[in-house]
Structure 1
């Protein structure tokens, strides 16, 4: 394996990220957020702005970076926007823990009625009342990638009954993983259903009117996957009917328009797609980019490749 020229030219979208990577051996780090002309025509690694529309990748047309590095796990619509011949890596390992933390927080906040209690606090009312719990719940976790596994590991100490669901039925060291096709049999007994799947052709619109109708009355739907996994109009209808509750970090459309009915429903808790955007993000992105620099500098393939270079 031959070593690459030194130093590697690495573009990053923010000054904060440039400063964090400035001392990285073997790299010249410069700021470019993919708007305007590139400061160099010969970048080796291009780090894409966080949560940017894939259309920004058109700025790479005519450039030949060895790696395009995302700061997100998901990469839907990227393949259509990425110029031919470029390799794209996602940020697996960066956001899973923070997203899992938020998923657990959404469950606890919804079960223990924290939004209502905060509203009572603002009104100076001592609103003592019983609530649901997380303990003893039957929780179905749909998606067994990094986020799904992180949610499950954090759920276990809460004394819940966990059912794992993935695309296919299989067994591992921890027991049986049920298939998505089995959801109609699992939903009627589930107190909480958590979505942690990637968005693709098989998951878009997966949670629709029919699946929602199968959920246990009063059950909680938690979505930390992608908004389009759920048919929003069907969810609004199910919540309005008092059939289900929802805790959503992702919605469709996003951002949610001010007039959208989801804002006004009592049994919906909304956060604005902040699952992975915590204090843990920057150091983990920095560590990932440093690993990529080390790999390319020594002639090794990059990590986390999800779209290989194509002609």
Structure 2
């Protein structure tokens, strides 16, 4: 008889129990492997949201066409080109004011650069714009309504509440003689506001004479502000009306003898009816403008 057959019943039972125990352990291990959560490295976790790009990447890049960085060359067009052409004409250059920087404008720029002793590139940079007294400014948050007054000798608020440019054109040649104010270049319908508080002393809603649609505002001390070539005057304003600094009184146009030219506001300041150069007053309330004086 073999040893296996010779094993006692108890021995066979023990061997069978061992084998069953091993099988049970394997089964339990398999069950545990299904039910146990996977280790952290193997867990399925939601994909983390992509990190937001840095603020500098999402923020709109600032315009490079700022006054100090502007470079006007052949092919440029717009109001700044038109203002450049106007200023070159005032300085003796024969050039059309059409807002298009073409070959004729380039030649005029080159002639002016030679006059200043600069290299005649025909390209206008921020430095040359400043020499011409030109600089662009965007009135941040400006719109129809009242503008908070700012300190100044006579002009408390800049008279055009919107995009504009201007130069020291006092005394520039005009058909009727030397220019007696400052031309503030701006788009049609740009709001015009009272430079200071006062009383409406003269008003015309129809085109009359050189000024077209115009308005006079007199301060209590006799200083008068003259607004000419306007597109319109706000309803309700009339002779004797009181206005406060920053109050909208009308809009920019090209009425009167400016009807065939660029839209702008002709602005004067007078003392005892004698005009004086308003440019220093305007730059006093417009710190973003640093055009060169003549």
Report TM bin, short chain. Answer: under 0.3
Of structures 1 and 2, the larger Rg is shown by 2
- Higher RCO (C-alpha under 8 Å, 6+ residues apart): 1
User: Could you say which structure has the higher helix fraction?
Assistant: 1
TM-score w.r.t. the length of structure 2 is: 0.25
